[in-house]
């Protein structure tokens, strides 16, 4: 205790009680700041997590709604439509095969 009082005296601080109160006040302020920083970081992380969960639920719900009312016949019909469209596109590609499309373009100088 005497050594501590001597340190305060040599440092130019006459009262050790004021010095310890100031230190406690600074520690309290630092602790308060740390609390708010971690609290805000937690809120940001939690809101990000909720956003991800919500997006996944929306995607699942959209898939469920899209496939809920489909019967086997409807799925077969849609598949046949896609197959027919693919065949039409292949026939169009065959028509243009061997034809130079760029030969018809004119160059004006």
Residue 67: HSE in the Cβ half-sphere, 13 Å Cα cutoff: 7
Query: What are the pLDDT digits (tens) for 46-56?
Result: 887 777 766 66
- Predicted TM-score (pTM) of the model is 0.34
Sign of the CA dihedral 29, 32, 33, 34?
Answer: positive
Whole-angstrom CA distances from 89 to 56, 78, 94, 95, 98 are 35, 17, 9, 10, 16
Query: What are the pLDDT digits (tens) for 58-91?
Result: 667 766 666 666 677 777 787 788 888 888 887 8
16, 27 Cβ separation under 8 angstroms: no
Question: 56 is written with which tokens?
Answer: 């996944």
């Amino acid at each position: 205790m005497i050594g501590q009082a001597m340190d305060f005296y040599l440092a130019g601080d006459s009262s050790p009680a004021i010095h310890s109160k100031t230190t406690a006040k600074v520690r309290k302020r630092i602790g308060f700041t740390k609390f708010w920083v971690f609290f805000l970081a937690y809120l940001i992380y939690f809101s990000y997590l909720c956003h991800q969960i919500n997006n996944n639920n929306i995607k699942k719900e959209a898939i469920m709604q899209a496939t809920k009312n489909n019967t086997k016949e409807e799925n077969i019909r849609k598949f046949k439509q896609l197959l027919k469209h693919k065949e039409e596109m292949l026939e169009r590609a065959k028509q243009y095969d061997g034809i130079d499309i760029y030969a018809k373009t004119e160059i004006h100088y």
